[in-house]
Copies of this chain bind each other. A is one copy, B any other.
Amino acid sequence: VVEPSAVAATWVFTDHVLRCVLCQRTYPPTYGAATCPEHGSPGGVLDVEQVGTASSRGTGTALVANANGTAHGLPGRASGGVGLAPGYLARTPLVDAPRLAEDLGIAQLLVKDEGRNPTGSLKDRPSALAVELALALGYRTVACASTGNAASSLAGACANVGLVARIFVPAGTPAAKLAQLAAFGARVVLVDGSYDQAWRLCESAVREFGWYNRNCAVNPYLIEAKKTCAHEVAEDLAGEAVDWVSVSVGDGCTVSALYKGFQEAQRSGVLAAVPRLLAVQAAGAAPIVNAFNAGVGEVDAVVPHTTADSISVGSPRNAVKALRALAGTRGAAVAVDDDEIMAAQRCLARLGGVYAEPGGAAGIAGVRRARHAGLVGRGARVVHVATGSGLKSSAILGSAEPYPLIEPVLSALNAVMAEEARHL
């Protein structure tokens, strides 16, 4: 493993310290995956804290996309370095959805479609950075535990550069996600247990075999990649304020990253105000929602039960950061039933034209709940972060009515349409 000083020469990303979210003590940069020596894992997650002001941060963290479309705010790669191909990680769009806004009873809904990332989810951002850091540090293997999206994103990024991806997924991960892993040539084990058990096994294996660790709850750098989602939203808003940003929550890392990104965007003058964050969890896996609404700083682990596999997390690893993000933005937290999530997936597709996986649509169900509860007002402008593509999930397949099979003649079509008309 290369020493940090050697890395600093390759990377623009330099002036920062790592601060424990529990004891606030600071530690020097490592570029590796680490938690607080005092508070360990889980709990003692570190936070990358940049030294210096926004204006003195330099090109590596400027809120400006570069010519290759590499996400901004990332530690930049110095010229000549090896790493991910230019173009691999590109900007995702913010899609206006006026029909869905009307259905939700709000003034505007903008969907940040993270399904447009290279392997179809927001997780492509941290995976891209993990792979770049692993390369810079001289690792050959990068590991993660994942309900699916972190896994496929890591597999894709590793394939692009030629690193080995070691993936720990819980048994029951959707077939389409496993197919992606197979396509990218990842080394996969299905763990006969929960996501939490897969996570712990991965941590043991990382220590045992000396792999680079792509788990967000341990690797403090990954949030620096996730926050670029907020930077892009802020830029696309072009100075216009939004009231709420809704996002589904599993481990709590993404909502924390959005908070950090929006804070930076505000400090840089890109955004006038940090929007309020609406954290949405499945009712069967809502430890962060429960803790926030009970006003307590620690979460009680639950045994997760939800069809939204990408947010089926019972022991969230970044709960402290997530709860701070909600408190810091005068945010809110709502739990939604699986039925509401599936209905939200249909609404987002049918009224917005964005086909997200259930976990990626859950935030829409949350907006509807928050609207009914009066938290979100009729005049609200809301951004929803659709965290992953619906093509990754077969959950909707069961709910699709069978289509009529007809002979290739007009009379057969007429019969189908007559039948349709009877049911309208």
> Interface residues, chain A, CB within 8 Å of chain B?
69, 85-88, 90-99, 110, 113, 116-120, 156-162, 171, 175-176, 178-185, 187-193, 197-198, 200-201, 204-205, 208, 236, 345-346, 349-355, 389-392, 394, 396-397, 399-401, 403-410, 413, 416, 420
Q: Are B400 and A178 in contact (CB under 8 A)?
A: yes
Q: Which residue of B has the minimal Cβ distance to A389?
A: B391
Q: Are B160 and A352 in contact (CB under 8 A)?
A: yes
Q: Can you spell out 29 A-B residue pairs with CB atoms less than 8 angstroms apart?
A: A85-B97, A85-B98, A85-B352, A87-B110, A90-B91, A90-B92, A95-B118, A118-B353, A156-B349, A159-B352, A160-B353, A179-B400, A180-B355, A183-B350, A183-B400, A184-B353, A187-B420, A189-B406, A189-B413, A190-B405, A191-B405, A191-B406, A192-B405, A192-B406, A193-B407, A201-B409, A201-B410, A201-B413, A391-B392
Q: Which residue of B has the minimal Cβ distance to A416?
A: B189
Known contacts A119-B355, A400-B178, A410-B204, A350 near B69 by CB under 8 Å: no
Residues from chain B with a CB closer than 8 A to the CB of A117 are 116
Residues from chain B with a CB closer than 8 A to the CB of A205 are 410, 413
8 more A-B residue pairs beyond the given contacts A157-B353, A201-B408, with a C-beta to C-beta distance below 8 A: A99-B161, A119-B355, A179-B397, A183-B400, A185-B350, A191-B405, A191-B408, A204-B410
A111 CB, min distance to chain B CBs, angstroms? 8
Residues from chain B with a CB closer than 8 A to the CB of A410 are 201, 204-205, 208
A391 CB, min distance to chain B CBs, angstroms? 4
Q: Contacting A396 at CB < 8 Å: which of B158, B183, B188, B399?
A: B183
A363 to B264 alpha-carbon distance, docked (Å): 43
Q: Are A345 and B397 in contact (CB under 8 A)?
A: no
